[in-house]
Amino acid sequence: MTLDREGTEGMDGTSSSARMPGGTSGDHAVSQPARIISVGGGKGGVGKSFVLANMATCLARAGYRVIAVDADLEGANLHTCLGAPTPTASLADFVAQREDDLGKLVFDTPIPGVRMIAGTHANLSEAQPTHLRRVRLMRGLRRLQADFVLLDLGAGVHSAVLDYFLVADEGLVVVSPEPTSLENAYTFLRAAFYRRMRLAMVGHGVRKLVTTAMDQRNESGLRTPLDLLREIESLDGADGARFVQTMREFRPRIVVNNVRTAEDIKLGFAMSSVCRKYFGIDAEYLGYVNQDEDVRLSIAAKTPLVEFRPKSDAAIYLERIARKVAAGRSLSSDKSSTSPVQSRAQSPIQPPIQSTTHTKHTNSPGSGRRF
């Protein structure tokens, strides 16, 4: 595995200081960089775009500037989830180097406060960007004028998909309660884990340690990624410990979509536990969304559910997830109590005010779910 110089710098840098909220990145020290949240999960059809479109809508309602980005160039459909027409310009233009300014690819959606970069492919043969282009893309996304940039990832474990997932400030894994989805989600997490490991190896002098650990695989009975990390940790105190720490900062969060039973709900806890016992990483269970006829109808209506049926169960669960994603970001107080109807009429994009931080305890009936 070789990495070009630029890639090394970009990937390694994001795993430390640039990942911190409020961290500044060189030439961009004045305004806070956009927080990038990627939504993946390995399998197609589990509701990644659906969850993302609704999360974007909720965050925008709460007063954040949101840009949704369809990074699923091979199966782009996020624009449809947001009710936007088939776009003329898309991320494919950036990938194919027809456009270098990501800002020029951003356009408004019918949802107030949500803008997007579409992902319609011009040519499948160029659907995945080169590594260098990916690094440029991630930098460009961070500089967009937004509080949140939500990245819709494609299915599968292509290195581009893994990089988007790893370089984001936060990675969400969406699963639905079926073995096929779990299998793909774990495959995805495993691939992401090892890719992160390779990228982290460049920054620390542990490549040799990893190789040694891998070589001793049979003797020492390494079976899980956790075993491997342990082995590395034991080989060399300082380097090993630092490396393991970097790996432990890999904290995907889990969303279970399409739940029907209490058993399904508990699946998220099981996954979280498996991540701890198998990978040795913390994967928080962020929330679940129930199976709901309204979901189907909202997709048919090309409108995010939280707009289409704001009072439905699933919409309420989606808002809870968005609220957790937003936690830590500042929010203007006047926005926090607006109803969706009011926010439609308002100017969709207003910068959040730094001084006020919303807390859950200020919820009152009627406004309680609107952040």
Least Å from the CB of residue 360 to other proteins: 5
Least Å from the CB of residue 236 to other proteins: 14
The single residue among 186, 188, 250, 308 that binds other proteins, judged by CB under 8 A, is: 186
Nearer to other proteins, 324 or 344 (CB): 324
Structure tokens at 44: 């197609």
d(CA 301, CA 329): 31
Least Å from the CB of residue 243 to other proteins: 11
Nearer to other proteins, 187 or 333 (CB): 187
Task: Show the site string, 241-280: x = touches other proteins by CB under 8 A, - = not.
Answer: ---x---x------------xx--xxxxxxx-xx-xxx-x
Least Å from the CB of residue 121 to other proteins: 30
The single residue among 179, 341, 345, 355 that binds other proteins, judged by CB under 8 A, is: 179
| Cβ neighbours of 12 (radius 10 Å) | 18
3-state SS, one letter per residue, for 289-357? EECCHHHHHHHHCCCCHHHHCCCCHHHHHHHHHHHHHHCCCCCCHHHHCCCHHHHHHCCCCCCCCCCCC
Handedness of CA 359, 360, 365, 370 (dihedral sign): positive
Least Å from the CB of residue 321 to other proteins: 9
Cβ proximity of 285 and 269 under 8 Å: yes
The single residue among 80, 236, 313, 344 that binds other proteins, judged by CB under 8 A, is: 313
The single residue among 33, 119, 177, 252 that binds other proteins, judged by CB under 8 A, is: 177
Residues 6+ positions from 299 with CB-CB distance below 8 Å: 50, 81
Cβ proximity of 241 and 253 under 8 Å: no
Residues 6+ positions from 116 with CB-CB distance below 8 Å: 56, 67, 68, 69, 70, 78, 79, 82, 84, 106, 107, 109
Least Å from the CB of residue 323 to other proteins: 7
Least Å from the CB of residue 319 to other proteins: 9
Q: Please give the single-letter amino acid code of residue 365.
A: P
d(CA 23, CA 17): 6
Give the footprint of other proteins on residues 202-241 (CB under 8 A): 226-227, 229-230, 233
Count of residues of this chain found to bind other proteins when the rule CB under 8 A is applied: 49
Binding residues vs other proteins (CB under 8 A): 177-179, 182-183, 186-187, 226-227, 229-230, 233, 244, 248, 261-262, 265-271, 273-274, 276-278, 280, 285-288, 290, 311-313, 316, 320, 323-324, 360-361, 363-366, 368-369
